Structure 1
């Protein structure tokens, strides 16, 4: 980004750039998101950074007013298929915290030194610094939304020691953990503990930020139509629905609840979805949040997408009617691949027959979706013949990778090589499980104006073909 564009965004407090870059003020030692409502700094005092980690590495602390660490993630990392984009998606999923830089490098197929060099050259921070910034954000959320002991929060956020945790919080926020907790906004959502031993039983309340307008009704319609009994449900009336689902996570299981917020096409500054996470192991918080963000496509850039698709005569009126339409992803890519193949009814049968039961069922949520290994022998038991067995075996054996850092072209080739997997199913898996924004209809030509957002173009056409969800009579629109 050139300095002219950057300072223009800062001067106009343009929320479209939140998460795309951060700016720091040399005279105050603070870094912010572009839309920060504080006084506009002098141009000569402003520095620009691609990531919060880079700003922290240069000695700046996070602004307490605009909370730059809570900005939507950069849309670039979900779009890009190169090593930097793949690395950023895996760091977001917690790979560095669980497996270290060496594990990240192995997944990428590069040496640790190459990964360090590429990330530092482009982002101004290496994988350790990027993961550290993410841990600091997780810790702040837990400090300000739960009554968990500080020591427990340190390890839940992914820190190796309490000392490392304390030092990082002081560096990033210029406050002690206790001071950061005390400074939580009044009227916030931090629950008050009623016992002498605070527990995460109340769940962790979150606001999942997005940029620009967000057509929540279309997303909740889709999730409701696809919901598989036992692992998902959508309850409530249109405009105020709640989506709940179970999660299989690296350290345990979880239940997520995300609330619908009515779309306001004039609210171009962005907003959030309210969520609550119940986790058997709080170390899974960062991973669970990132998986929800991918499911709800919260890091997309609707400005870039709608501007491009709005130039197409066929799509222009659809974009105008539903600005900010999203292309939902998947909370569990392997689960999505199986569901795309067998359909919701058969998926429900697989959950009942092979899914892992929750230790404590929550209403209609009773299981997590079966792991690929348990579906290998189940493959010949359904109407899909041996295709499910082949898909499950490829997922279980590593011949097909759909994780956040997967090579999309390699995954496409592996999908096409599976026997009996038709082009439509492959396209759904690429769009939803891999989060590919540019998947067109199989075998059908599309206008060049749809690229690189063909996945979103198809969502606009699909949404237009469905009746629009309306709220009950008597309620505000």
Structure 2
């Protein structure tokens, strides 16, 4: 499993959080929120691990240990800080940028693959043996796939305990635990309290009330640094496909709603636009969301797919530093710091929509989209699956693309090999280069895509997708 990162790839912010411990301690000492999620620190005298921006008194350097993941800190015997809640930080931007097997593995684990298919399923998707995957993840991240998935389950459990009125037993299985005993042991190990105690410690804002499970699960989708919400919501509003998506409200206070097809059932997600955030003394913020699910086991997957759609794990400091050094882009970056490159909740859906456009996509939904058992206002259907479209519309480029998606010739999921996907897309008859570029940017979440014919210099790499969004936001590109 070789590391295929591009040479000179920037990491979080202006330092390398994975190798320079003195710089990491300085980030902790200054409570620098830019590095929340990039690494974690633990205090040996208290047995607690935290995010870099934890507001508690800074411990002495001799007592501090650093970890690349929360799972690694938990594996070393540290419990999560109740004050800074390190499990609620944005994910490391590195896993979305990296195209190697470790990056792909982290995206798949976040999507819940280990919980659904085990380590063997994860390894099969990556094309390696379980032993190779275990060895590489442990070497780089300090934790194997089971431990990484366990840390994620613990976070899901905390969210459900503190935001719904569900019985503890139901939450255990909804969070992905195999037994109530395993659930109780994990909560004690990670949070140093019982599930009941964790529920009682919920912030007043998030405390569950009787009967609230039917109202969905309220969430705060954290991001680091500034976040330009308006361009993202503008794009989603222009592209919204009736029946599957809708935007309500006015600019600055809009709500995006859409249906979700998930591994165990279906869902409806609502995400609220917030004014431009992240420019104050404590950079970062969140988008408020609510997710309604037919099966709560899908919560982790639904959250991760929303995070990819809104590009919430990006590192805007690394992006803006690189692009802001270019004479053409500098004024655009200054005007819109933290501009994001939206992704997708369903990569196959985005591929089809990139090919056919909004109006035809709406017609495909009307004809072939599965109706929800419980429609919610204007949201009535799921976007049709590739296999359904391949059977119903077998001719032309649409038929060729959906057939390739359905039979696995083209793979666009979170663990996809981006180079292999690019080559497979190029082999689809009639699929032109601009459409392939759009699919790579949105469906694969590739941060470094330049459409054919545009002069995108190497100095923009590895953030050319973000550079194009700046040009479009400034009206220099369609």
Cα displacement string for residues 144-188 of structure 1 (whole angstroms, at most 9, x for unaligned residues): 0000000000000000000000000000000000000001112x1
**Corresponding position of 1:434:** 444
- State the TM-score, normalizing by the size of structure 1: 0.95
Distance in 2 separating the partners of 1:58 and 1:264: 35
Q: Deviations over 1:294-353 (max 9, x none)?
A: 000000000000000001111000000000000000010000000000000000000010
Q: CA deviation at 1:292?
A: 0.1
Alignment match of 1:331 (pick from 334, 341, 345): 345
1:269 Cα deviation after fit: 1.1
Q: Deviations over 1:263-311 (max 9, x none)?
A: 0462361000000000000000000000000000000000000000001
Residue 472 of structure 1 corresponds to: none
After superposition, what is the alpha-carbon deviation per residue over 1:34-81, rounded to whole angstroms, capped at 9, x for unaligned?
Answer: 000000000000000000000000000000000000000000000000
Maintained 8 Å contact 1:265/1:323: no
Deviations along 1:365-418, whole A, 9 cap, x unmatched?
0000001110013335xxxx5111111111110111000000000000000000
Q: Which of 418, 423, 433 is 1:413 aligned to?
A: 423
Q: Which residue does 1:458 correspond to in 2?
A: 468
Aligned position for 1:473: none
For residues 5 and 461 of structure 1, do their structure 2 counterparts lie closer, same or farther at Cα, with a shift above 3 Å needed? same
Unaligned runs of 5+ in 2: 1-18
**TM-score normalised over the length of structure 2:** 0.95
Give the one of 394, 397, 412 matched to 2:404. Answer: 394
Distance 1:264 1:160, change over 3 A: closer
Distance (Å, rounded) in 1 between the aligned partners of 2:140 and 2:133: 11
Written as runs of structure 1 = structure 2, the 5 A alignment for 1:62-211 is 62-186=80-204, 188-194=205-211, 200-211=213-224
Structure 1 runs (4+) greater than 4 angstroms displaced? none
| Cα distance in 2, alignment partners of residues 266 and 92 from structure 1 | 28
* Match runs of 1:363-374 below 5 Å: 363-374=377-388
1:229 corresponds to which residue? 242
May I ask how many residue pairs the two structures share in their alignment? Answer: 458
1:342 corresponds to which of 333, 344, 356: 356
RMSD of aligned residue pairs (Cα, Å) = 1.1
Contact 2:225/2:279 (CA < 8 Å) preserved in 1? no
| Match 1:29 to one of 29, 32, 47 | 47
The whole-number CA distance in structure 2 between the counterparts of 1:94 and 1:102 is 13
Deviation at 1:191, TM superposition (A): 3.6
1:153 aligned counterpart, secondary structure = helix
1:10-29 residue pairs with structure 2 within 5 A? 10-29=28-47
Do residues 238 (structure 1) and 265 (structure 2) align?
A: no
Q: Aligned-pair distance for 1:190? A: 2.9
Instruction: Using the TM superposition, give the Cα deviation of residue 444 of structure 1 relative to its aligned residue in structure 2, in angstroms.
Output: 3.1
2:331 corresponds to which residue? Answer: 317
CA distance in 2, matches of 1:407, 1:3: 32
Cα distance between partner residues in 1 of 2:138 and 2:353? 38
Indicate the residue corresponding to 1:213 in structure 2: 226
Distance in 2 (CA, whole Å) between partners of 1:85 and 1:395 is 22
- Pair 1:60-2:78 in alignment: yes
1:247 aligns with 2:260: yes
CA contact (8 A) 2:278 2:284 kept: no
Post-superposition offset of 1:466: 8.2
Q: What corresponds to 1:376 in structure 2?
A: 390
CA distance in 1: counterparts of 2:172 and 2:62, whole angstroms = 38
Which position in structure 2 is the counterpart of 1:282?
Answer: 296
Residue 450 (structure 1) shift: 0.6
- 1:201 Cα deviation from its structure 2 partner: 1.2
Provide the rounded CA distance (Å) in 2 between the counterparts of 1:4 and 1:445: 40
The Cα offsets for residues 203-247 of structure 1, whole Å up to 9 and x where unpaired, read as 000000000000000100000000000000010011110000000
